Amino acid sequence: MSSARLYELGYLRYEGRRTAPSRAVLSLLVHSFRSLLGIRRRARAKALPIIVGGMAYLPAIVFVGIAFFLPEELTEAVVPGSAEYFSTVVTPVWLFIVLGAPSLICPDRRHGTLALYFASPLDRDTYLIAKAGALALFLALVIIGPGLLLLLGLTIAGVGTDGPLAFLATLGRLLGMGVVITMMFTSITIALASLTDRRAAAAAFIGLWLVLGSSFVGILTGPLRAGDWIAALDVTTVAANVAGHIGGEFLDQEMLGPLATMLVALAWVVVPAVFARWRYHRLAVTR
Amino acid sequence: MRVRSVTKRWGSVTALSEVTLDIEPGVTGLLGANGAGKTTLLGLLLGFQPPDEGTIEVLGRDPVTAGPEVRAGVGYAPEHDPMPPDVRAQDLVRHIAELHGIPRDVSLTRASDTLHLLGLGEERMRQVGTLSTGQKQRVKMAQAIAHDPELVLLDEPTEGLDPLQRDEMLRTIRRIGRELGIHVVVSSHLLGEVERICDNVVVLDQGTLAGAGALSGFTGETRSYDVEVDGPAAELVAGLARSGLVVQATGPTRFRLDLADDAAVTRLLDEIDASGLGLRRLQPLGRRLEDVFFSGAPS
């Protein structure tokens, strides 16, 4: 007697377990994060995250190697602190938010996919939260990850912080700094990308914002000798000040005090987020 | 679905004005010319935007205040192509199914089975941008039903299809409604499509409700009759017109007559008797949705 069985094949009514509507946010976040990493996408979509990851992590790996193989005095002279390492990740962060981040939200509007998302349990707010969450997760890996690797590597090599309490304090400062900077760059990137449904235009907006912001502040505070508060207009300078004040690292030029830095950083998170929300609430999905 | 006194304006344009209707279970055709307000109504049913006035209930809930819960049980295929071209068809359908509550461990099977149901085999592994218009329409349909919704809203699902593909799509919609038991609202400006697949009809005309009800109520028998007598009918037709009946000659011995009540039937028989002609035919006329649409639908 044969043990073969016939199973019903094809589309049937679904009687199984369903996830809660609120789970849609997590589902879109994971999907968007995988997309940012280039998973299940063409090879060229994988290139940018690999390059950005390499730029962010390779120096940290080299520094950890140095810490293991060179004398402690030399290591301390050459290897930066984990928070100070932020200056190393500025370029990959810029590169990614200019070239990679626009692909997170612009195509959804350009191809009309928003209609599918808004016809799901997502709404405009939860859609933005999921997209911002995916970008923040990636940026956190670039901004916090290498510093964390460095902190752990130096600690294991015996040239890091002195004692568990100092380690935890450094870890806390690193995470705090990283979260604030990540939220700032995430918020401004989403807001600028919400201006257009074209990736290239969004990349131009973000690139110009970063470059012009830095140049503008440089000129005003340099040759024109404007007040240091002008630094508040440049998100990268504010991020460096956050790294200095929260991360506890040496600042080349302290332009903003600790309280002013935190208030400005908060404004850089909230104002673009409110703007992006306003933009998406004005979008007509169908007419 | 219940829609009560709903008005929706886009700037100075009133897309829907004081619309009140119930959409019953089964396959419902949302019929109207371009700009009649069909897509706006679908958007309101999904909670894309709130109505300016009035209330809406979908699956027993208000889509404005309980949007996520309502939309979890609804599938939607918009009129335009909403799909990213660089994503594989199966991945897209799977992703949308997961958003609607299908767990990740079964979403791939659901996506695959749904695409098979719609006739996409190996093509499901191709990127959406490489598919033909007909295949894209089927992927669009698949993402709307993969999560096994209670209700599917289809906005012009046959747009851009050739006659064969259109035929196939209509058969599929009918099957979704009849065999799978999913309630379907299908918007169209093509009367023939609605007649072929729908149980109920909602007719919109320039943002107002022109009519709603069972399809049979629109296309069934009316009080119009085809009358044939055994001689020249010209004098008889003139006499009937003089007596206040709505009559239209359709041939030398035939005419079409609207009989509003039994008294009108008596008058017709009296007039025929007086003319000395014999009655050969008195047949109620069925009417097609097209007649209703172009001559004003019953409320």
List, for residues A206-240, the tens digit of each pLDDT value.
999 999 888 887 787 777 677 777 888 888 888 98
Show the tokens assigned to B192: 């023939």
Contact A11 B96 (CB under 8 A): no
Among chain B residues, the shortest Cα distance to A124 is held by B48
- Give the model's pLDDT for residue B146: 95
Q: How many residues does chain B have?
A: 299
Q: What is the 3-state secondary structure (H, E, C) of B163-222?
A: HHHHHHHHHHHHHHHHCCCCEEEEEECCHHHHHHHCCEEEEEECCEEEEEEEHHHHHCEE
- Give the model's pLDDT for residue A6: 52
Contact B46 A116 (CB under 8 A): no
- Give the model's pLDDT for residue A253: 60
- Give the model's pLDDT for residue B293: 63
Tell me how crowded residue A158 is: count the other CB atoms within 10 A of its CB.
Answer: 10
- Give the model's pLDDT for residue B298: 45
Mean pLDDT of chain B: 89
Query: Which SS3 state, helix, strand or coil, does residue B92 take?
Result: helix
State mean pLDDT over B2-20.
93
Work out the pLDDT band at A92, boundaries 50, 70, 90. very high
State mean pLDDT over B178-184.
91
Q: How many residues does chain A have?
A: 287
Work out the pLDDT band at B42, boundaries 50, 70, 90. very high
State mean pLDDT over A167-176.
91
Measuring CA to CA, which residue among A181, A144, A196, A204 is closest to residue A261? A181
Per the CB < 8 A criterion, the answer to whether B96 and B143 are in contact is yes
3-class SS shares of chain B: helix, strand, coil, % to 5: 40, 30, 30
Work out the pLDDT band at B291, boundaries 50, 70, 90. low
Task: Report the residue of A31, A44, A120 to disrupt the B interface, i.e. the one with the largest count of B CBs within 10 Å.
Answer: A120
Mean pLDDT of chain A: 88
Helices within chain B (DSSP H only): 38-46, 67-72, 89-99, 104-117, 133-145, 163-178, 191-197, 215-219, 234-242, 262-275, 289-295
ipTM: 0.85
- Give the model's pLDDT for residue A219: 82
Contact B71 A120 (CB under 8 A): yes
State mean pLDDT over B91-117.
94
Per the CB < 8 A criterion, the answer to whether A246 and A177 are in contact is yes
Residue B297 clears pLDDT 50, i.e. is over it: no
- Give the model's pLDDT for residue A102: 95
List of chain B residues whose C-beta atoms are within 8 Å of the C-beta of residue A24 = 68, 98-101
Q: What is the CA radius of gyration of chain A?
A: 22
State mean pLDDT over A268-276.
97
Q: Cα separation of A183 and B36, whole Å?
A: 45
| Nearest CA distance, A41 vs chain B (angstrom) | 7
Contact B180 A120 (CB under 8 A): no
Which of A6-15, B105-114, B117-126 is modeled with the greatest confidence? B105-114
Among chain B residues, the shortest Cα distance to A113 is held by B82
- Give the model's pLDDT for residue B221: 56
pTM for this entry: 0.83
User: Of the candidates B10, B43, B71, which has its C-beta nearest A285's C-beta?
Assistant: B43
